[in-house]
């Protein structure tokens, strides 16, 4: 009885680590995209930069408002192999637009 319980706890812990890693990757990708957009890069290039740092199959949203470049990166992942629980993680960043951009 103890071994199955330990395996369940281990599986949950590994799933939590995987989800946290994906969330951090989304936040990093959002920061990369927001910095590029704030520098005055074209939106297509900022999106490509964000996608290059994001987890697979991520979705990137870009916006400029109130003097800020805002980027949100959202990705879905499946935790586990038997149940394959769907989890959605995201990361956002807002960077002030550089003068003249």
- Identify the helix (H) or strand (E) that includes residue 20: helix 2-39
Q: What is the DSSP letter of 29?
A: H
Over residues 48-99, the pLDDT tens digits come to 999 999 998 999 999 998 899 999 999 998 877 777 788 899 999 999 999 8
Over residues 87-98, the pLDDT tens digits come to 899 999 999 999
Q: Residue 66 — left, alpha, or beta (φ > 0 → left; ψ -120 to 50 → alpha)?
A: left
pTM of the predicted model as reported, rounded to 2 decimal places: 0.85
Q: Is 96 helix (H, G, I), strand (E, B) or coil?
A: strand
CB 18 within 8 A of CB 86: no
Query: What percent helix, strand, coil does the chain show, rounded to 5?
Result: 50, 30, 20
């Amino acid at each position: 009885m103890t071994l199955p319980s330990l395996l369940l706890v281990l599986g949950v812990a590994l799933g939590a680590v995987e989800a946290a890693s994906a969330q951090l990757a989304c936040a990093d990708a959002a920061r990369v995209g927001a910095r590029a957009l704030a520098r005055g890069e074209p939106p297509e290039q900022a999106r490509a930069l964000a996608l290059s740092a994001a987890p697979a199959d991520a979705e990137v949203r870009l916006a400029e408002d109130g003097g800020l470049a805002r980027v949100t990166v959202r990705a879905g992942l499946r935790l586990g192999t038997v149940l394959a629980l769907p989890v959605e993680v995201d990361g956002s960043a807002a960077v002030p637009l550089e003068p003249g951009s």
